Amino acid sequence: MWGRFVTRRLIQLIPVLLGVSFIVFFTMHLTPGDPIEHMLGQAGHVTQEQIEELRGHYGLDRPLVVQYGLFVGNAARGDFGLSYSHHGRAVASVVRERLPATLELTLFAFVMALVFAIPAGVIASLRPQGVFDRGATIGALLGISMPGFWLGIVLMIVFGLQRNWLPISGRIDLAVVPPARTGLYTLDALLSGNGAAFWSALKHMVLPGLAMAAPMAAMVMRMVRSSMIGVLAQDYVQFARAKGLPERTVVGKHALRNALIPTVNIVALQTGLLLSGNMIIETVFQYPGLGKLAVDAIGAADYPLVQAVVLIYAVSYVLLNVGADALHAVLDPRVRVA
Amino acid sequence: MSQAASEEEALESVAATTPGMVRLLLGNRVAVVAGVVVLAFLAMGLLAPALAPYEPSEQHAEAIRVAPFWQAGGGTRFLLGTDGLGRDLLSRIMYGARVSILLGVVVVLLTLVVGAGLGMVAGYFGGWFDAVMSRVVDTLLAFPFLIFALAIMAATGPNLVALVLALAFKGWVDFYRVARGDVLAAREADYVTAARGLGASTPHILMSEILPNILPPLIVLATLRMATIIIAEASLSFLGIGVPPRIPAWGTMVADGRADVASAWWIATLPGIAILLLVLAVNLFGEGLRDALDPRMRK
Amino acid sequence: MRQLQRTEEIRDSMLREKREEAAGGFTRREFLREGLRAAVLVGGLPGALSVLGAGCAREQSGLRPELVRGSLRVGLDADVPTLDPAMHRSRTVEAVVRNMCDGLVARDAQMNYVPQLAVSWRVEDETRWIFKLREGVRFHTGEPFAAEDVKFTLDRIIGAIDGLEQSPRKSLLGPVVGTEVIDEHTVAIVTEGPYPILHKKLVFQEVCPKAYFERVGAEEFGRRPVGAGPFRLVEWRPGERIVLERFEDYYGGAPEIPPAGPAELEGVIFRPLEEAATRLASLEAGEVEVAVSVPPDQADRIDGLPEARVSVAQGTKTHFVGLNCTRKPFSDRRVREAMRYAVDPKPIMEQFLLGRARALPGILVPMAFGYDSSLPAPRQDTARARELLREAGHGDGLSVTLDCEAADKRIAEAIAGSMQAAGVRAEVRVTKKDNLLNQLRRQERDMFLTSWGNSSLDPSGILPVLFRSDGYSNFFGYRSPRVDRLLDEADRAMEPEVRRQKYVEIQRALHEDIPTCFHFALEELYGVSTRVLDFEARPDGMLPMHDVALRAQV
């Protein structure tokens, strides 16, 4: 039943990805700006012949529809063509280099958001309109209303420049030897027992991670809070209390589990937004991940690279939602029936 | 439990009348303050030519990176200080309100009309149109908005028309979903069946019977979407591909100040506070509006 | 094609090795798990970490901790798309690559030309130069440097080798048509027509080892280049860092640039930090020791820090306002002349750029060969500008767009602000750099702030490309048969004094015709930690690290 549920959702993914690839392909190719001209840039004298040769090399001389067909066919096999702005290297390999950085930062921001949001939401729900609740609500509102790039810059000024507490750019201190295995520096450092590298990589993620996590933490906190308030008013919780179970058990065991069910989907949604926020934050902090790569690729009219990155974002968004629905189904059997 | 339900019912009956809604909204002190702040920003933008002490692009070569008045080196000549070209930050922030609010309103109206229109048609008629639209919506939901907006803006260069389209590209989907869902529910409601029985035409039913009933949640959504749009516009301007540089915009101003963060923190920070205040006020007002217009949506 | 196959074979075998290593690691992991549990029980977390460390020591990357500690770290202002010396037109790439790959000719800090991998050269006849090569030089692979490598390097750039992508550096070699190997340590370079500055142009080409290139193929070479320079590549993580280590068998470099011998530093780490604010913050935080291109308004602050100073060199790049002579309003010479008098250079140089730039009468910087010092210094004269505009029929002022790229936005806005006094309403429009260049080449823009680098400091590196009627970057639609003829004559004049005279005449013609106005050159500013010894900024923007040393961290 479960397998079928997931399979069905995964099959639904196909038209979505086709649609995404269609939009991105045609907007990139129909907007003005010739990638070959970008490539040549300041290259000095170039003959028309050489331009045509390059066009042929990158397959840009074929009809657009054929190009699209080739693109989809190749992309399905994980081949995204050659990157214009990376000296004709394969897009897949360029992306692979940057993916771990983004993955690590996103995971870090994700964990940070949940670590703040869930306890804050629970505590706030215990005493609605209490001091903590009001404080947390105001904090959450600020979190949603702050533009990420600005929060990033303010964090940079306060913690990086005025007090030299935290690094404001890059992934790891250059003086630390980074172990190379998965590409996730904190994990690599742990695997190789390099405490200094772990600490350095972690420190580098704090400021960009905070700036990324703020809106997600705010949304999740509000969701947890309101859903906890709802659950705590339910009969079975009152009953558990009446039985004389300690408040800890009541809140932690009975209420929280149920309150988290509706939170799962909002977490998935917010994680999707987290991904789209990383472009701005990575640009602000010069973090060498996928987001910064995308911004640079767009500036260089590097179609194949942009297409690949857009598809990666779209796939991860869809997978997140499938995952959330599956998790939802695990936690709440009613969903499966419906 | 039963108490809560009755309270909700009471709210609903009060809110059913327009004066009741206004009363409810006015009773919410936070929402009132937020509304006043939004109006203040609006007035600031509209009256900027009269209020601003300087022209926003006027450069003072002798007064570059002057600190705001409360800082050492600051003074009353430039209350909020100046930027790297000696331009008055207060005047620029005032003018910046114009483009933020204007774009917010235009984009929200556009997406509201398009989204709600399509949503009503899809919800009322269903069929192939609904099926196609739901595929389109699924696709757009999975589409990373910012990259798309970036790609369009990078190709066309900073200009307002492209910016509106880029911001509206995905924004209508939310309105579509709300409108479609509500129409789907309303289609079988008594008042619609009755109107149909009386021989009302389909356009009449949609516009005169259903629309007024589904409007409140759409208005609430529109307000909250406006906050998102303001932030999105500022983000694009921050990356240098939103509002053209000749128009003072808050996102551009933050970007201009980035090079100076170490020596003149205020240039990047103050315009961001303006964004924060406006967006916060819009959000609070939207939530107040939701409580007043649509008690069912209260969490 | 065969070459490609060979590359893939090598890659496959490397992959196989990696896989085998991973398979061998399985049992080790099990051992580790047990060890870890024991260690946690006995020694707590630090103990566990050290066990992990011991287990994985063999798998660490090739970076030695001493190397990283003893390295000089440089914050670059641009990312590096390739490390292939022949496949870029980027000063940043050149500055990095120059530390790995030496060339036939180099320049010292005073921009004098000295032999590097060449020992000497002579002009055999007007179209044939003979270069004697240094003996006993080895590439990082251990293979000896010889005449074949020089031939391969130059042939690749001029496009004389089939099956390789066209090098964007071809135009830097002008009329070079071929190279002949005379013996193992002698080559002849043949040009089409006289080319008096060949030796100066060779500074921009680094020698690549033919054998290694053919072994690994073009793509791999761009990622892991090998040269005969003082440092060799250890690791390149794109967007993050380029790690070089001292090449112990270095021949010592140009004897004219002492000291000789291997480099002082253990290594050099380059890190792209495109945002000036982050770059400077990293310098202040001690995360890099050298920060390239300090913004003028930050220079005094950085210089005032206890842990850093600013190193200054005169720049070789000229910024200028270009005017499109082919269409209204600037097809009218009077309007162009009005622009010359519209801008006040003083506040822009002194207030906006804080004295870190100097206004110039023309496109050449004073250091350049043939610079004409007799041209009048630029100044503002709003009355004259208004009068000229009135004569040209713009009595009620002129509205124009001033195009620029993002990096120049602030200066463009300052220029536009200054022009207001002369009745010129200029609106600044920012376009992506590459797009702007293409628009300019198609002569689609009326007035624009842009810049052109000329680190050769020879007028032939800037005047023909911008001002010849068929110049590739003639943004102005400037056509002057006289200037074309003078440029050709200068190109062929082997006698320096004759060349100088031709270039002076050209500068005067350009001053008369005004395709460009408001020229200025920014200083090259580098933020340098006080731990760094013997690093000085250079006009050409190169970062030779061979002679630099680093004081130990306190």
B248-283 pLDDT tens trace = 999 999 998 887 887 889 999 999 999 999 999 999
* Mode of pairing for the β-strands spanning C549-550 and C308-313: unpaired
As beta bridge partners, residue C320 has: C450
Minimum mean pLDDT range among A19-23, A140-144, B95-99, C37-41? C37-41
As beta bridge partners, residue C397 has: none
Mean pLDDT along residues C509-537: 95
Q: Assess contact for C388 and C335: CB atoms under 8 A.
A: yes
The residue range of the domain holding A192 is 100-298
**Packed helices A148-155 and B211-238: angle between N→C axes, nearest 10 degrees:** 40
CB within 8 Å: B276 and A233: no
| pLDDT score at B191 | 87
Q: Which residues of A touch C73 (CB under 8 A)?
A: 174-175
Please check the confidence at residue C315 and state whether its pLDDT lies above 50.
Answer: yes
Distance (Å, rounded) from C-alpha A292 to C-alpha C493? Answer: 49
Distance (Å, rounded) from C-alpha A150 to C-alpha A232? Answer: 37
Q: How many CB atoms lie within 10 A of CB C352?
A: 24
Same domain, C324 and C464: yes
Distance (Å, rounded) from C-alpha C192 to C-alpha C202? Answer: 16
Q: Which residues of B touch C414 (CB under 8 A)?
A: 59, 61, 85
Q: Which of C537, C542, C493, C524 is nearest to C96 (CA)?
A: C542
Domain membership of residue A6 (yes or no) is: no
Q: Assess contact for A156 and A207: CB atoms under 8 A.
A: yes
Please check the confidence at residue B9 and state whether its pLDDT lies above 80.
Answer: no
Residue with tokens 């002076």: C504
Please check the confidence at residue C13 and state whether its pLDDT lies above 50.
Answer: no
State chain A's maximal CA–CA distance in angstroms.
87
The interface residues of chain C toward chain A in range 163-202, judged by CB-CB distance below 8 A, are 165-166, 168-172
| pLDDT score at C438 | 80
Please check the confidence at residue C546 and state whether its pLDDT lies above 60.
Answer: yes
Residue C492 pLDDT grade (very low, low, confident, very high; cuts 50, 70, 90):
confident
Same domain, C50 and C119: no
With residues binned 3-state (H G I as helix, E B as strand, rest as coil), the percentages for chain C, rounded to 5, are 40, 20, 40
Q: Assess contact for C423 and C431: CB atoms under 8 A.
A: no
Q: Which residue has the higher pLDDT, C112 or A41?
A: C112
pLDDT > 70 fraction of chain C, expressed in percent and rounded: 88
Q: Assess contact for B38 and B285: CB atoms under 8 A.
A: yes
Distance (Å, rounded) from C-alpha C299 to C-alpha C302? Answer: 5
Chains A, C: CB pairs < 8 Å = 146
Task: Name which of B246, B252, B265, B267 to mutate to probe chain C: the one with the most chain C Cβ atoms within 10 A of its Cβ.
Answer: B246
Mean pLDDT along residues B221-238: 92
Q: Which residues of A touch C55 (CB under 8 A)?
A: 193
Residues 6+ apart with CB under 8 A from C257: C106, C108, C109, C114, C546, C547
| pLDDT score at B20 | 66
Please check the confidence at residue A238 and state whether its pLDDT lies above 60.
Answer: yes
Residue C298 in tokens: 């930050």
Residue A82 in tokens: 């050659």
Which H or E element spans position C372?
none
Residue A148 pLDDT grade (very low, low, confident, very high; cuts 50, 70, 90):
very high
Same domain, C475 and C385: yes
| pLDDT score at C514 | 96
| pLDDT score at C11 | 45
Please check the confidence at residue C418 and state whether its pLDDT lies above 50.
Answer: yes
Write down the ipTM of this complex.
0.86
Q: Does A234 contact chain C (CB < 8 Å)?
A: no
Distance (Å, rounded) from C-alpha C243 to C-alpha C235? Answer: 5
Using alpha carbons only, give the angle B182, B183, B187 rounded to the nearest 5 degrees.
125
CB within 8 Å: B148 and A279: no
pLDDT tens digits for range B100-114: 999 999 999 999 999
Same domain, C493 and C371: yes
The chains found to touch B (3+ Cβ pairs under 8 angstroms) are A, C
Report helix, strand or coil for B223.
helix
Q: Which residues of B touch C301 (CB under 8 A)?
A: 262-263
Domain membership of residue A322 (yes or no) is: no
Q: Which residues of B touch A145 (CB under 8 A)?
A: 227, 231, 276, 279-280, 283
Strand order in the sheet with C398-404: C357-360, C516-522, C317-323, C447-453, C398-404, C424-430
Distance (Å, rounded) from C-alpha A264 to C-alpha A154? Answer: 31
How many domains is chain A partitioned into structurally? 1
- Residue C9 main-chain phi, psi, to 5 deg: -60, -45
Closest to C49 (Cβ–Cβ): which among A85, A195, A299?
A195
| pLDDT score at A334 | 63
Residue with tokens 């519209």: C342
| pLDDT score at C331 | 95
Q: Is B79 left (phi over 0), alpha (psi -120 to 50) or beta?
A: alpha
At the topology level, CATH places domain B3-298 in MetI-like fold (1.10.3720)
With an 8 Å Cβ cutoff, the interface of chain B facing chain C consists of: 57-59, 61-62, 64-65, 84-86, 154, 157-158, 240, 244-246, 256, 258-263
Domain membership of residue A289 (yes or no) is: yes
Q: Assess contact for B220 and B297: CB atoms under 8 A.
A: yes
Residue A288 pLDDT grade (very low, low, confident, very high; cuts 50, 70, 90):
confident
CB within 8 Å: B59 and C414: yes
Q: Does B25 contact chain A (CB < 8 Å)?
A: no
Closest to B240 (Cβ–Cβ): which among C275, C417, C430?
C430
CB within 8 Å: B84 and C276: no
The residue range of the domain holding C411 is 317-522
Please check the confidence at residue A29 and state whether its pLDDT lies above 80.
Answer: no
Domain membership of residue C92 (yes or no) is: no
How far A330 CA lies from chain C's nearest CA (Å)?
Answer: 32
Q: Assess contact for A84 and A300: CB atoms under 8 A.
A: yes
The interface residues of chain C toward chain A in range 358-417, judged by CB-CB distance below 8 A, are none
Q: Which residues of B touch A318 (CB under 8 A)?
A: 142
| pLDDT score at C442 | 85
- Residue B50 main-chain phi, psi, to 5 deg: -85, -35
Q: Does A141 contact chain B (CB < 8 Å)?
A: yes
Task: Name which of A281, A298, A317 to mutate to probe chain B: the one with the most chain B Cβ atoms within 10 A of its Cβ.
Answer: A298
Q: Does B141 contact chain A (CB < 8 Å)?
A: yes
Domain membership of residue A111 (yes or no) is: yes
Residue A168 in tokens: 């404001």
How many Å separate Cα C541 from the centre of its chain? 6
Domain membership of residue A138 (yes or no) is: yes
pLDDT > 70 fraction of chain B, expressed in percent and rounded: 90
Q: Assess contact for B123 and B180: CB atoms under 8 A.
A: yes
How far C215 CA lies from chain A's nearest CA (Å)?
Answer: 18
pLDDT tens digits for range B22-33: 777 777 888 899
| pLDDT score at A33 | 60
Residue in A closest to C50 by C-alpha: A193
Domain membership of residue C554 (yes or no) is: no
| pLDDT score at C37 | 44
Q: Which residues of C touch A162 (CB under 8 A)?
A: none
Domain membership of residue C186 (yes or no) is: yes
- Residue B282 main-chain phi, psi, to 5 deg: -60, -45
Same domain, C173 and C115: yes
Distances (CA, A) of A264 to A5, A193, A271, B99, B140: 17, 34, 11, 37, 21
Residue C156 pLDDT grade (very low, low, confident, very high; cuts 50, 70, 90):
very high
Of C223, C246, C271, the one marking the end of a domain is C223
Q: Assess contact for A113 and A198: CB atoms under 8 A.
A: no
Closest to C277 (Cβ–Cβ): which among B59, B246, B258?
B258
How far B103 CA lies from chain A's nearest CA (Å)?
Answer: 16
| pLDDT score at B19 | 66
Which H or E element spans position C391?
helix C382-391
Distance (Å, rounded) from C-alpha C438 to C-alpha A36? Answer: 11
Q: Does C273 contact chain A (CB < 8 Å)?
A: yes
CB within 8 Å: A44 and C172: yes
Q: How many CB atoms lie within 10 A of CB A114?
A: 20
Mean pLDDT along residues C68-78: 87
Please check the confidence at residue B4 and state whether its pLDDT lies above 50.
Answer: no
Q: How many CB atoms lie within 10 A of CB B217?
A: 19
Please check the confidence at residue B299 and state whether its pLDDT lies above 50.
Answer: no
Q: Assess contact for B148 and A27: CB atoms under 8 A.
A: yes
Give me the sign of the Cα torsion angle B75, B76, B81, B82: negative
pLDDT > 90 fraction of chain A, expressed in percent and rounded: 22
Residue with tokens 């670059």: C76
Q: Which residues of C touch A43 (CB under 8 A)?
A: 89, 168, 171
Same domain, C428 and C370: yes
Domain membership of residue A318 (yes or no) is: no
Minimum mean pLDDT range among A103-117, C16-30, C456-470? C16-30
Same domain, C239 and C214: no
Domain membership of residue A45 (yes or no) is: no
Same domain, C327 and C389: yes
CB within 8 Å: C281 and A98: no
Residue with tokens 């172990």: A179
Please check the confidence at residue C22 and state whether its pLDDT lies above 50.
Answer: no
Q: Which residues of C touch B57 (CB under 8 A)?
A: 413, 417
Please check the confidence at residue A118 and state whether its pLDDT lies above 70.
Answer: yes
The chains found to touch A (3+ Cβ pairs under 8 angstroms) are B, C
CATH number at residue A253: 1.10.3720.10
Please check the confidence at residue B65 and state whether its pLDDT lies above 80.
Answer: yes
As beta bridge partners, residue C72 has: C268
Distance (Å, rounded) from C-alpha A35 to C-alpha A25? Answer: 14
pLDDT > 90 fraction of chain C, expressed in percent and rounded: 60
Cis preceding-peptide flag for C496 (omega within 30 of 0): no
CATH number at residue C254: 3.40.190.10
On the CB side of C106, CA atoms within 13 Å amount to: 27
The interface residues of chain A toward chain C in range 288-307, judged by CB-CB distance below 8 A, are 288, 292-293, 296, 299-301
Same domain, C118 and C29: no
| pLDDT score at C75 | 94
Distance (Å, rounded) from C-alpha C242 to C-alpha C48? Answer: 32
Distance (Å, rounded) from C-alpha C128 to C-alpha C145? Answer: 22
pLDDT tens digits for range C221-279: 998 999 999 999 998 988 888 999 999 999 998 888 888 889 989 999 999 988 888 88
Q: Which of B226, B239, B238, B243 is nearest to B271 (CA)?
A: B238
pLDDT tens digits for range C443-483: 889 999 999 988 889 999 899 999 999 888 899 999 999 99
Q: Where are the alpha helices (DSSP H) in A127-173?
A: 131-145, 148-155
Same domain, C482 and C425: yes
Domain membership of residue A43 (yes or no) is: no
- Residue B54 main-chain phi, psi, to 5 deg: -135, 165
CATH number at residue C321: 3.10.105.10
CB within 8 Å: B135 and A310: no
CB within 8 Å: C168 and A86: no
As beta bridge partners, residue C131 has: C121, C187
Distance (Å, rounded) from C-alpha C409 to C-alpha C40? Answer: 58
How many domains is chain C partitioned into structurally? 3
CB within 8 Å: C297 and B263: yes
pLDDT tens digits for range B239-252: 888 888 888 999 99
